[in-house]
Amino acid sequence: MTRSASPKSYSASPIQQLPEHLLSPFSIFLQSLDPSLSDNTKAAYRRDVLRYLEYIEAQSVNGFEEVGPEQVRGLIDHLRNQGLSASSLNRNISSVRQFHRFLQTHGLCRHDPAQRVATTQPATPRSPNILSEAEARRLVEAMHGVDPLGLRNRAILEVLYASGVTASELVRMCVGDVLLEQGVVHIIGKAARQRTVPVGEPAIDALGCYLRNARPELLKLNADDTDVLFLNARGRKLSRTSVWKIIKSAARTAGIGREISPHTLRHTFAAHLVSGGADVRDVQHLLGNLTMSTILTRDPSSDPIAVEAAHRAHPRS
C-alpha cells in the first residue's frame, strides 16, 4: 500500500529526475499525441501529466498499478490548496484519465485510478436551463402516443437527451445515420464535421419503433422518396421550429413550467454525463464542440473505454 503524500512532502522535480518506470511511459505518451494538436494543447497535456507523475513519485510509488484514487484525490486537493480554479482542477483530472487510457491501451496499467475521482463543481448555482434527472425523464416520457406522430415525437425527445444533438443536427439526420444494433447514431455538425455518439437502450428502442411503425406511414404521404430520418405530418423533412414545438408541448405535459429548448436538452445531456463520471473531454467531443476538436480528435465510438464510460454515465443507458 502506498503512503499518502501531504502537500508539504511534495515538491516538483525536473523531468530528468523522474525514475525510468515513470519517465519512459511519459515520453512515449507525449510522442503519441496527435500531430495536429496545437502547441498549447500539447503543453497542457505535458504540464498536467508531469505534475501527476511528480506527485506520485513523491509517494515512492513503484508502478502505476500501485496508484489508486486516493493518490489522484491527494494531487487535486494539493492543487486546490494552491488556488487552482475548478476548471483547471477538472482539466488535470481529465489529463490523468487520458494518460491512463494510453497506459491501458499499451498494456502498462490495468486500471484508471482517476475514473472514480469526481470532477470539481464550480462555486456557482446550477444553470436554470439544465433539467434534473427526474425532470428529463418526465419530459421524455411525456410523449407516449402510439400513432405515427406520437412515436416520432417520443423518438425525437429520446435522441435529443441521449445524444446532445442540436435541433439543426437532428433534422439533418438520415435513416442510414442510425445503427440500431451498434447502439450509435452518426451526426453531421457544422462545417460537415462528423461524429458518432453512443445512445442508450431507451433511445434505440424508440428509434426502432419509429422506423418500423411510424416513418413508413408518414412516408406514404409524400410522393417523393426521402432518406431524411424525421418526417412531418406531410411526409417531408421536419423543421427546426417543429422540434421546438414538440419540446414545448412535452414540457407542458410533464408539468415543467420554465422555458425549455433543444439546447436545454443538449446542456442537460452534458451535465448528466459529467456528474455521472464521464470524462469532460469525451463529453465535449460527443457534443461536437469545435473549441475542443483540436484537443480530442478521435472518434469516441472507436474507443471502447470512452463508449463504456458514456453508457455508464448517462441516466437513460
What's the CATH number where 230 sits?
1.10.443.10
What's the CATH number where 31 sits?
1.10.150
Q: Which of 88, 105, 122 is the last residue of a domain?
A: 105
pLDDT tens, position by position, 1-11: 344 444 334 44
Q: Does residue 310 carry a pLDDT above 70?
A: no
pTM > 0.75: yes or no: no
Quick one: pLDDT at residue 5?
Answer: 42
Amino acid at 258: R
Q: Strands 194-198 and 178-179: what pairing?
A: unpaired
119 in a structural domain: no
Provide CB contacts within 8 A for 6, sequence distance 6+. none
The end-to-end CA distance of the chain, in Å, is 35
Same domain? 97 vs 138: no
Provide CB contacts within 8 A for 37, sequence distance 6+. 45, 294, 295, 297
Task: Spell out the long-range contacts of 228-234 with Cβ–Cβ below 8 A and sequence spacing 24 or more.
Answer: 228/171, 228/173, 228/174, 228/175, 229/173, 229/174, 229/175, 229/177, 229/178, 230/152, 230/155, 230/156, 230/170, 230/171, 230/173, 231/152, 233/149
116 in a structural domain: no
118: helix, strand or coil? coil
137 in a structural domain: yes
Q: Which residues form the domain of 185?
A: 133-313
Same domain? 96 vs 164: no
- Chain-centre distance for alpha carbon 250: 25
Grid cell of 291 as nine digits: 473549441
Same domain? 189 vs 300: yes
pLDDT tens, position by position, 62-119: 778 888 888 888 888 888 888 888 888 888 888 888 888 888 888 888 888 888 787 7
Same domain? 91 vs 151: no
Q: Of the ranges 140-149, 190-199, 244-253, which one carries the lowest mean pLDDT score?
A: 190-199
Task: Quote the number of domains for the chain.
Answer: 2
Same domain? 280 vs 188: yes
The whole-angstrom separation of Cα 257 and Cα 49 is 45
Quick one: pLDDT at residue 265?
Answer: 93
Same domain? 81 vs 137: no
Our CA angle for 120, 48, 43, nearest 5°, is: 125
